[in-house]
């Protein structure tokens, strides 16, 4: 093959988030990275991940303010950081800078150690919460990977390697989709719609999250209600109801109500319900420091919550979104992926990301006693999520933004 021919690397960041659900019984413990357990390495990178999350969100929101948004910044960032191991020069610096890392302040080794620590922490087995991240490399049978790259992606990013025949694109597509479907327990199927004829390497990342509300809703109290998509559009949606003690606050800085709902385990969902007409203000004002402030608020007050039962998804061709963040060269003929292989020049032809969000009343088990709560002294405030709102799901131990989204229309799949 002439060296001037640029072959394709297919980057697939894919995930599934299912809020209430069953618990995994067969999650395996992975080897812990060597680090100071009192100062885990992931603490160095979580502020950068939050900054990346907001940059990515704002770009997606700018592309469309009339559709639902849902993605995993942790999943996308891990895929890109893993890819950066194989890059040099401008290709390399653009990826790390696009991920909000300043290598003059943090070494590249610290960045990868942070991801190694983060992945280990997120993949740690729990009897209350299932959270699994995985990645795989599908390598053409004729391609020889450089050993430093293949060892680093295995040791730092827990990535598996599979030999595959990309000259049969239909068969290769089925194998990749089967891997994704198995990793996401059937929640994402047919992620890959087509393969570039010159594809020789595919990187696949997924994240699976299943959690049960610490305080579930009672299905018997779910009833049909109105959701105001905009001033002219109203849709009918099953609306869940629960009265009790919640971590609920009004934030004048954001012009929004803030509701924190805990899962059994170490994850929290933060919902931001803006005042009428204040969604653009909320999107422009929300920062990681504000998120941290609310995560540290533990006081509760009585509230009567109405929340839509929903299932939404987001599918993105990340090429245009990442280009807006300055990650461009890796998609061009000027890409330098020479640390992946010396056999042939490579570029990333496609970067696909899919996320699925499901919210319902409970998990697989919910004792009747958990539906009731004694509320003292004050009348509960009524908080109805009946117009567009933001959602951020955070792993409390690492303070990592697992998922970020905006619900514009809960009936929109």
Segment 158-204, tens digit of pLDDT: 888 888 898 898 998 999 889 888 888 888 888 888 888 788 888 88
Q: What is the pLDDT of residue 394?
A: 92
* Range of weakest confidence among 104-113, 121-130, 133-142, 303-312: 121-130
pLDDT at 247 over 90: yes
Confidence of residue 306 (pLDDT cuts 50, 70, 90): very high
* Domains observed in the chain: 41-211+312-358 (3.30.497.10), 219-308+377-407 (2.30.39.10)
Q: What is the pLDDT of residue 365?
A: 28
| Nearest-angstrom CA–CA distance, 113 and 20 | 31
Q: What is the pLDDT of residue 264?
A: 85
Query: Which residue in the block uniquely carries the two structure tokens 């409390």?
Result: 396
Q: What is the pLDDT of residue 127?
A: 63
| Nearest-angstrom CA–CA distance, 108 and 152 | 13
| Nearest-angstrom CA–CA distance, 32 and 15 | 23
Q: Which residue has the higher pLDDT, 91 or 211?
A: 91
| Nearest-angstrom CA–CA distance, 275 and 342 | 56
Q: Which of the residue ranges 80-89, 358-367, 370-379 has the most confident prediction, judged by mean pLDDT?
A: 80-89
pLDDT at 20 over 50: no
> Quick one: average pLDDT of 200-217?
83
Distance, C-alpha 54 to centroid of its chain: 12
Global pTM reads 0.87
Average pLDDT score, the chain: 84
Q: What is the pLDDT of residue 405?
A: 92
Distances (CA, A) of 33 to 42, 130, 230, 268, 402: 11, 21, 48, 25, 21
pLDDT at 397 over 90: no
> Quick one: average pLDDT of 7-34?
46
Confidence of residue 101 (pLDDT cuts 50, 70, 90): very high
Handedness of CA 275, 276, 277, 280 (dihedral sign): positive
Structure tokens at 44: 């160095």
* Range of weakest confidence among 257-261, 289-293, 338-342, 355-359: 355-359
> Quick one: average pLDDT of 48-74?
92
% residues pLDDT > 90 (the chain): 48
* Range of weakest confidence among 129-138, 303-312, 394-403: 129-138
């Amino acid at each position: 093959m002439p060296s001037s021919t640029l072959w394709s690397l297919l980057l697939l960041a894919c995930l599934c988030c299912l809020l209430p659900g069953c618990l995994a019984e067969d999650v395996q413990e992975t080897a812990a990275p060597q680090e100071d357990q009192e100062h885990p390495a992931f603490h160095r990178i979580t502020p950068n991940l939050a900054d990346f999350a907001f940059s990515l969100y704002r770009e997606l929101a700018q592309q469309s303010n009339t559709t639902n948004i849902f993605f995993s910044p942790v999943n996308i960032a891990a895929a890109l950081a893993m890819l950066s191991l194989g890059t040099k020069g401008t290709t390399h610096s653009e990826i790390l800078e696009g991920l909000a890392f300043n290598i003059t302040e943090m070494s590249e080794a610290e960045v990868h150690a942070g991801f190694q620590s983060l992945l280990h922490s997120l993949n740690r087995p729990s009897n209350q919460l299932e959270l699994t991240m995985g990645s795989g490399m599908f390598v053409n049978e004729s391609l020889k990977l450089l050993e430093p790259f293949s060892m680093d992606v295995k040791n730092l990013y827990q990535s598996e390697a599979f030999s595959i025949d990309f000259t049969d694109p239909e068969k290769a597509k089925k194998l990749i989709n089967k891997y994704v479907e198995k990793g996401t327990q059937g929640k994402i199927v047919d992620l890959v719609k087509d393969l570039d004829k010159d594809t020789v390497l595919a990187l696949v990342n997924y994240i699976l999250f299943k959690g049960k509300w610490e305080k579930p809703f009672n299905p018997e109290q779910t009833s049909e209600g109105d959701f105001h998509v905009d001033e002219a559009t109203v849709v009918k949606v099953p609306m869940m109801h629960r009265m009790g003690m919640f971590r609920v606050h009004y934030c004048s800085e954001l012009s929004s109500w803030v509701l924190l709902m805990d899962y059994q385990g170490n994850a929290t969902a933060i919902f931001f319900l803006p005042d009428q007409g204040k969604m653009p203000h909320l999107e422009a004002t929300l920062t990681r420091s504000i998120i941290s402030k609310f995560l540290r608020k533990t006081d509760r007050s009585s509230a009567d919550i109405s929340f839509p039962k929903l299932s939404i998804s987001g599918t993105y061709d990340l090429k245009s979104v990442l280009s807006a963040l300055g990650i461009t060269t890796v998609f061009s003929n000027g890409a330098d992926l020479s640390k992946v292989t010396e056999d042939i020049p490579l570029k990333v032809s496609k970067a696909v990301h899919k996320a699925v969000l499901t919210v319902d009343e409970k998990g697989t088990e919910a004792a009747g006693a958990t539906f009731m709560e004694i509320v003292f002294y004050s009348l509960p405030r009524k908080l109805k999520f009946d117009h567009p709102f933001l959602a951020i799901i955070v792993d409390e131990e690492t303070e990592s933004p697992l998922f970020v989204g905006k619900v514009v229309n809960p009936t929109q799949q």
